[in-house]
Amino acid sequence: MLNVVLVEPEIPQNTGNIARTCLAAGARLHLIEPLGFNLEGAALRRAGLDYWAKCDVHRWPSLDALRPAARKARFFYLTSKVTRPYWEARFVPGDYLVFGRETRGLPESLLAKEREHLWTIPMEPAARSLNLATSVGIVLYEARRQIQPS
């Protein structure tokens, strides 16, 4: 199983869509607090439709609180601030794909500490960023493709 980690997500519709994508891909979703919305909110339920109850979702007070539960798993941090493309990563079951806030991405302090584990989704210079749910889908399905080739 793969793991998707959202660090301080802000938009309930994105989180709902990501939860549905995780369900479809057989991945576990980890939400790092603080969340920018209430998990019981109508917008989240609408975005996740009737899938939310079927999703494997875990909440954590911080990324540091998640790490001991992940044991020796590998973490891949996705950011627009590097040039190494995600498709060069070699994913294995149990990996954690970590994404930052919609408005700010991952904290600079985390990026500085995890330089060797930073990856990006290349895009044209005119595009500032991709939607978080789109970004998760791109990387999660590449990881799944590598792990479960057809």
Angle between helices 132-147 and 12-25 (to 10 degrees): 10
Task: Report CA torsion sign: 105, 47, 123, 141.
Answer: positive
Contact in structure between 106 and 7 (CB atoms under 8 Å): yes
Query: Position 45: which residue type?
Result: R
pLDDT tens sequence across 75-129? 999 999 999 999 999 999 999 999 999 999 999 999 999 999 999 999 998 988 8
Per-residue pLDDT averaged across 1-24, rounded?
Answer: 93
Beta-bridge partners for 44: none
Query: CA–CA separation, 10 vs 145, rounded Å?
Result: 28
Query: CA–CA separation, 95 vs 86, rounded Å?
Result: 13
Widest CA span of the chain, in angstroms?
A: 40
Q: What percentage of residues in the chain have a pLDDT greater than 90?
A: 77
The model's confidence at residue 40, banded by pLDDT at 50, 70 and 90, is confident
- Per-domain residue ranges for the chain? 3-147
pLDDT tens sequence across 127-140? 888 999 999 999 99
CATH T-level topology, domain 3-147 = Alpha/beta knot (3.40.1280)
Per-residue pLDDT averaged across 53-71, rounded?
Answer: 93
In the predicted model, is pLDDT for residue 46 greater than 80?
no
Pick from 26, 24, 15: which is nearest to 48 by CA? 15
Q: How many CB atoms lie within 10 A of CB 116?
A: 7
This prediction has a pTM of: 0.93
Q: Considering only 24-33, 47-56, 63-72, which range has the smallest mean pLDDT?
A: 47-56
Residue 44 is predicted with a pLDDT of 60
Query: CA–CA separation, 148 vs 150, rounded Å?
Result: 6
Residue 52 is predicted with a pLDDT of 75
